[in-house]
Each structure stands twice: as C-alpha cells, then as structure tokens.
Amino acid sequence: MKIKRISVYHVDLPLEHPYWLSGGRLKFEVLDATLVKVETDSGLVGWGEGTPWGHTYVPAHGPGIRAGIETMAPLIIGLDPRHVLDVERAMDLALPGHLYAKSPIDMACWDIAGQAAGLPIADLMGGGSRTPRPIASSVGAKTIDETRAVMDRYRQRGYIAHSVKIGGDVTRDIARIRDVEDIRRDGEIILYDVNRGWTRQQALRVMSATEDLNVMLEQPCETLDDIAAISGKHASPVSVDETLVTLQDAARIARDGLAEIFGIKLNRVGGLTKAARMRDIALAHGIDMFVMATGGSVLADAEALQLAATIPDANCHAVWACQDMLTVDIAGGRGPRNIDGHLHLPEAPGLGVHPDENALGDPVGVYS
Ligand code: MG
C-alpha cells in the first residue's frame, strides 16, 4: 500500500465563548484547524487534524501546519502509511522540529493502518481499554462566582473532571483554589492549570498557602528549569503540559522527578507515534497522564481518546473534548461524543470518525 495523494483543508473553528487562558493573558475566539486527507493506492483513506490552541499559546502556528505539509509531502508520497515509523522518519528528515505540523499526517497514517487491520487504533497499538474516559472541562473563568457558574454548567452535562485555569494574581488564585475545593464533589478530578502564569516565587507562595489541600497544579511556571528550581521546595503534585514537547523533555522530567503527571497533547508532541513513547516513559516512572487534543474537532478528540485507551485505566485521569467548545461540527454528530461527561472508544476500525468533506470547502493544497 502506498500514499498517492495528500489533500489539505483549512477550516476556522469558532469557539462558543471567547476563552481567556489563565489569568486572562491570552484570548481566543477562533481556532485555525488543518484537516488532512491521505489517499492510498488501495482505496483506503485516512484523515488527520492539526489544530493549535491559537497562535499565541505555544510555538505552534496554524498556517505553519499547512506550509510544513507542503514541504514534507514529496518525501511522504509513495510510503506505506501502515509503516508509521517510516513516515515519522521521513517527516523528521524533511523538516526537523515543527512537531505540530507532523501530527495530522501521523494521525491519518494510523487511521489507515487501523482500517487496514480492521481494528480501532487503540487495539492496533496493543491497548484498547473500553472504560469510558472522563472528559475534563476547561474552566477559563476569572472570579470565584464565574468559576462556580462555569463548573456548574459542566456538571449539569455530567462532567466529573475539571481543568480550572488560574495563574494570574496570586492572592486571587489562592482564594479561587480554596473556594473550588470547598465545593468539590466526591469523585471529582480537579486540575488547576496555571498555563505558565507564575514566577518561581509566586508558585511557591501558592503551593505553600494550599499545601493542606494537596491540589494538582499544571504547568506552574514558564520553563522546565523553573519547575526544576522549585522542585523539592513544595509538596504539590505537578503536571507538566506546555513544556512536555519532545521525548527528551519526557525523559528529563521523569529522570529528575519534575512532575507526577504528564499532560500529553497530541498535536504539540507530534502525534500518536511520538506520544506513545512518552506514555511508556511515564508508566515506567509511576507518572500518570491526561491525554488531550491541543484543540480542534471531534477528530482531534478521537485521536486523544485512542491513545488514552492504551493507558491502564488507573493511570489515565481524563481526556478533553474541545468539540464541546465549538459552534461548528465538521462531522455531523458522528464520532465519540459526550455521554454523561465521558467519551467512549469508537468500535469502528481506524480513528473512528471522518469529517463531512462538504463542510471543509475546497482543499488549499493537494500533493501527489
Ligand atoms: Mg494545560
């Protein structure tokens, strides 16, 4: 089987509510999505998606995905998409770095490999837990009252996992953490996502003031060096997310004990092939995981769910359904959807959902 054509689509995905990252630093209203159709000489077709969480969140540029695929395509055409490692090496040779540009191609190849094997991707990867994964909400609020209102809105839809965005004013962050812990329900999974918003000193102030609560804090500071510098000076469980990009990052975090949780985002780390190695490093070091799309449609959510299903249930806290935050649906309601706050692994071979091509418009690039 050979890849014979790659078609690239650009779609804007508007958010239902304008979204402010931790502390109100960054505002997002529309996500720049790239959908990729990979056709083979066997007739099998795979789909991938790359949707960064805006241009300002981390170094991942929506239009850069399309430019990157244009650069990589000549080295990918003709390869067997079931040999995902060969495709990965070809992409790494054609374009060092730029992992976010590679993930849609990797995803489409896994989709084809799954279809060819007659298995969901998770089963093909040797996992395949059918335990529904809790969906983490994304509580991008600022005040205590807003936080309560947004969390209640999610609870009414069945959510038991919440990512509460903090990382602004330290005093207000401490007050919001204490309030959320006051109203925390039994069994709820709550992650406080700082999105790099604190300096080392600010992080230590909050960690000290909330030490009795043992709350989980995600990406408290900008860099791994910052997180390493405060490591050992606090007792808070730490999740690392934005600074978990390469396999080398994963190895360092695990070896140096910088985090208790990996927040693996598929588009950021370059797709399933690379993320699976991070999963294994995590499991070998007693590190639990959140697995999430970086953003995007139900396709991106499905990809995250496939990887999550290869993680033992006890080590996978939650996934995320960005689809619930969008006003457009490019797959007509198909694919894994929120059922009482959880996503269920699709039984269809491959990724488990393809877009409605009519919803994508004309391709902006076709390579063959
Ligand atoms: Mg995060």
Rounded Cα distance between 54 and 135, Å, is: 21
Domains belonging to the chain, first-starting first, are: 3-118+357-367 (3.30.390.10), 123-343 (3.20.20.120)
Query: Position of tokens 């007693």?
Result: 286
Q: Is 165 a catalytic residue?
A: yes
β-pairing verdict for 288-292 and 316-320: parallel
CB atoms within 10 A of CB 70: 15
Q: What is the pLDDT of residue 23?
A: 57
Task: Compute, in angstroms, the gap from residue 257 CA to the centroid of ligand 1.
Answer: 19
Q: Is 233 a catalytic residue?
A: no
Task: Compute, in angstroms, the gap from residue 290 CA to the centroid of ligand 1.
Answer: 9
Residue of 37, 102, 165, 274 marked active site: 165
Query: Position of tokens 């190695």?
Result: 277
Task: Compute, in angstroms, the gap from residue 263 CA to the centroid of ligand 1.
Answer: 7
Query: Position of tokens 């960005």?
Result: 322
Specify whether the backbone of 240 is left (phi greater than 0), alpha (psi in -120 to 50) or beta.
beta
Task: Compute, in angstroms, the gap from residue 179 CA to the centroid of ligand 1.
Answer: 20
Beta-ladder partners of 14: 30
Task: Compute, in angstroms, the gap from residue 294 CA to the centroid of ligand 1.
Answer: 9
Residue of 2, 102, 142, 265 marked active site: 265
Task: Compute, in angstroms, the gap from residue 35 CA to the centroid of ligand 1.
Answer: 23
The three-state secondary structure class of 211 is helix
Give the contacts of 67 (CB within 8 A, at least 6 positions apart).
Answer: 101
Rounded Cα distance between 65 and 48, Å, is: 12
pLDDT per residue, tens digit, the chain (368 aa), is 999 999 999 999 999 887 766 556 667 789 999 999 999 999 999 999 999 988 878 888 999 999 999 999 999 999 999 999 999 999 999 999 999 999 999 999 999 999 999 999 999 999 999 999 999 999 987 799 999 999 999 999 999 999 999 998 999 999 999 999 999 999 999 999 999 999 999 999 999 999 999 999 999 999 999 999 999 999 999 999 999 999 999 999 999 999 999 999 999 999 999 999 999 999 999 999 999 998 999 999 999 999 999 999 999 999 998 998 899 999 999 999 999 999 999 999 999 999 999 999 999 999 99
Task: Compute, in angstroms, the gap from residue 204 CA to the centroid of ligand 1.
Answer: 19
Host H or E run for residue 135:
strand 133-139
Q: What is the pLDDT of residue 324?
A: 87
The number of residues in the chain equals 368
Task: Compute, in angstroms, the gap from residue 191 CA to the centroid of ligand 1.
Answer: 9
Task: Compute, in angstroms, the gap from residue 317 CA to the centroid of ligand 1.
Answer: 14
Whether residue 215 contacts residue 190, with contact meaning beta carbons closer than 8 Å, is answered with yes
